[in-house]
Structure 1
């Protein structure tokens, strides 16, 4: 019997993730963009990025075998895990039994679920996002209702995507994703991870981006921000007078704001695109 540490009783920790994967015969699916992190200390560091999680409701997308899920549960969070790959259900069910009432598994496509309903109207998102849906999910969470239903987003991306999210005007990485993310929120790269942190190792390095919601200027429609940035950066080497001519009223708006139409999209600040969208909205 354990419970008397003075007598030298040794308690075993959680079963290693590698053993859980082997016991359930699990393998990462390349088609679903799956890569697993097995290092529990690293997973604990990722789960700690948002801060105090005790009693928080957290949406996790693509939990896989449950490594990050366990780290969140150990920090006191209530986790709603959305997983479309049914192979992981038995492993996640074992984890749910270990943390009664703290883990809910939702089998389905994260692009089709009602996240706000799942988290009870308000919560955080922490996820090692599958690479093939990460950007689409981020755009969805940034361009729907505002203020948003999420308190913060802690998301794993390919390093290249993470750098695009936080890029500043004038840099090669600056583009549509930079503007849409920074228009409504304050993103930062919270952690970088090498390829060797994953099983199987992906072809590129990864990074965790922490995103906190901010204020949104009145009178700016998300659809207009998206349309402007799509036109401007769809032909980023062209001058604005050429790239924005497909957007009705855009050239007149440039003139009203005193923006030289011979400039290129990457030279405009986020505030410039917001001002353009405001006039056109």
Structure 2
């Protein structure tokens, strides 16, 4: 195992506020990045294949069933770059672009969490709309949308117009992977699912059963593609993980959406905010 630089636990000012680095007492090289008391990223500096958060494990499950070999990936939202590290480790030779507006955060992750060690990774300091607009058509095999302000997804990254731009940068048969958070009633994720279904022929949803039933606030993963998705493998992969998540697609997804309207630019839509007890 290569020697890794020891980060320094503590609070750090970044461009948009302050974040905190916390050591994981159960793993010698595990670190948690939080913002406003909300866990944003977990990285194991000695093992980039270790995915600690349940929703990130589900995203890893999706990545694992994509066609074998290196991937060209665009990540909207950086944090500590957990998934870029995972892709670099599990798909050697992959080229990756991370779009992250917080320059101070990017510098912190470079300095404290060994970001420079991730091969073939380029970071663009800009917002998600502008960053994607600057990427050429058909660049990516995979686009990962995992952008949050605190615990809230920016609504401007959930609209039909923006998802059409994400679809533009995907190659034919490429895959879109979205992390979204929602709570009771799941109104926002139903509308976002309707938006993804408008942009992609094949769509499915992954989530832990309690979150999927709207019983508690949590993360859900939407997957979209122009090509048929490996539904059986994703059902098994989701159910076989620690989360024992469900995979919803086909008529079940139509019923889940229940006629919800896609989100459009300029609509007065509010992304859900977690209740105070979620993060203590």
Alignment TM-score, normalising by the size of structure 1 = 0.52
Looking at structure 2, the residues matched to 162 and 212 of structure 1 have their Cα atoms a distance apart, in angstroms, of 26
**Alignment-derived partner of residue 212 in structure 1:** 225
1:22: which partner in 2?
Answer: 9
Larger Rg: 1
| Unmatched runs of 5 consecutive residues or more in structure 2 | 13-18, 21-33, 45-49, 229-256, 262-280
Equivalent position SS for 1:129: coil
Cα pair distance change 1:92/1:179, threshold 3 Å: same
If each structure's helix is expressed as a fraction of its own residues, which one has the higher value? 1
Q: Which structure 1 residue ranges, 5 or more long, are not aligned?
A: 1-10, 168-175, 196-202, 216-265, 271-281
For 2:156, the equivalent position in structure 1 comes to: 136
Aligned to 2:129: 111
Deviations 1:66-97 (A, max 9, x none): 22221121122322111111232232476453
Residue from 29, 50, 54 that aligns with 2:69: 54
SS of match in other structure, 1:114: helix
| Bigger strand fraction | 2
**Partner-residue secondary structure (3-state), 1:211:** strand
Deviations 1:153-197 (A, max 9, x none): 111111449955775xxxxxxxx54433223323212343999xx
SS at match of 1:72: helix
Could you say if the C-alpha distance between residues 212 and 86 of structure 1 is closer, same or farther in structure 2, counting changes exceeding 3 Å? same
Distance change >3 Å, CA 267–CA 153, structure 1 → 2: closer
Q: Which residue of 1 aligns with 2:101?
A: 84
Alignment CA distance shift 1:67-1:181 (3 Å): closer
String of CA shifts for 1:217-245, please: whole Å, max 9, x gaps.
xxxxxxxxxxxxxxxxxxxxxxxxxxxxx
Distance (whole Å) between structure 2 residues aligned to residue 157 and residue 88 of structure 1? 21
Alignment length (residue pairs): 189
C-alpha distance in 2, partners of 1:21/1:192? 34
Whether the aligned pair in 2 keeps the contact of 1:80 and 1:105 (CA below 8 Å) is yes
C-alpha RMSD of the superposition: 4.2
Q: Cα 1:99–1:194, aligned 2, differ >3 Å: closer, same or farther? A: farther
Larger deviation: 36-45 or 102-111? 36-45
Q: 8 Å contact 2:152–2:181 — kept in the other structure?
A: no
Q: Distance in 1 between matches of 2:130 and 2:98?
A: 14
